[in-house]
Amino acid sequence: MIWRSIVIGAVLLAAVVLQTTVFARFTVLGFRPDLLLLVVLAVAVRDGPLAGARVGAVAGLLTDLLVTAAPMGVMVLVHTTIGHLTGIARPYLAPGSVTAPVVLAGVTGAVATATYGALAGALSDTGVAASLLAEAAVIVGLTNMLLAPFVFLVTDRIVERFPLRGAATE
């Protein structure tokens, strides 16, 4: 179990490094994909709501500390909730489907971005225009859809080597 935590932590750390370096330069209309959310989704689809919420909390904390400038805790809430809900929806996803993770990544990317923007705007002095929020949600959703197969494949292979043992996955 400890090795699994270390490995997932390393995957999250690699995702945040990629997100803050490589994808900081390669943006689409100023917006970049949410790689940490994709890792959360991959773990939640594989291991269920508890694992999704745990990895989501860590990914959200990394995002709050290193990626965003919003009030602390906003992305923890968003990533934890999405990880948990994705884990709950896991039985309804077609196993072995190629399109399910892609669609899931697009929808959750858009929802996470819109929720983050709405919460950050409500909690800080600077308001975010609804049109900008909608544009960001669509772009992040689409870029997450493009990257989902790669992130899911890599994360799934790594998590497969370090399976969840001795803990409830439901």
pLDDT above 60 for 60: yes
Based on its alpha-carbon atoms, the radius of gyration of the chain, rounded to whole angstroms, reads 15
Q: By residue range, what is the domain housing residue 70? A: 2-161
Residue 10 lies inside a defined structural domain of this protein: yes
Distance, in Å, from the CA atom of 153 to the CA atom of 39, rounded to the nearest integer, reads 10
Question: Tokens 């909390």 sit at which residue?
Answer: 57
Question: What number is the average pLDDT over the span 3-25?
Answer: 89
Task: Judge contact between 150 and 38, C-beta under 8 A.
Answer: no
Conformational region of residue 30, where left means phi above 0, alpha means psi within -120 to 50, and beta covers everything else: left
Confidence band for 127, pLDDT divided at 50, 70 and 90: low
Tell me how far apart the terminal alpha carbons of the chain are, to the nearest angstrom.
17
DSSP 68-107: --SPTTHHHHHHHHHHHHHHHHGGGSPTT-SHHHHHHHHH
In the predicted structure, residue 45 carries a pLDDT above the cut 70: yes
**Residue 26 placed within a domain:** yes
Region 8-13 average pLDDT: 93
Mean pLDDT of 12-26: 88
Contact 39, 15 (CB under 8 A): yes
Question: How do residues 139-169 score in pLDDT, each as one tens digit?
Answer: 999 999 999 999 999 988 888 888 776 554 4
**The model scores a pTM over 0.85:** yes
Q: Is residue 84 part of a domain?
A: yes
Residue 136 lies in a domain: yes
Instruction: Evaluate whether residue 35 is within a structural domain.
Output: yes
Please count the structural domains in the chain: 1
Whole-angstrom distance, CA of residue 76 vs CA of residue 130: 22
Q: Inform me whether the pLDDT recorded for 4 exceeds 70.
A: yes
Task: Tell me if 155 is assigned to some domain.
Answer: yes
With a cut of 90, say whether residue 98 has pLDDT above it: no
Nearest to 110 by CA among 129, 84, 136: 136
Mean pLDDT score, 42-71: 90
Domain at 109, CATH number: 1.10.1760
The answer to whether 81 and 61 are in contact (CB under 8 A) is: no
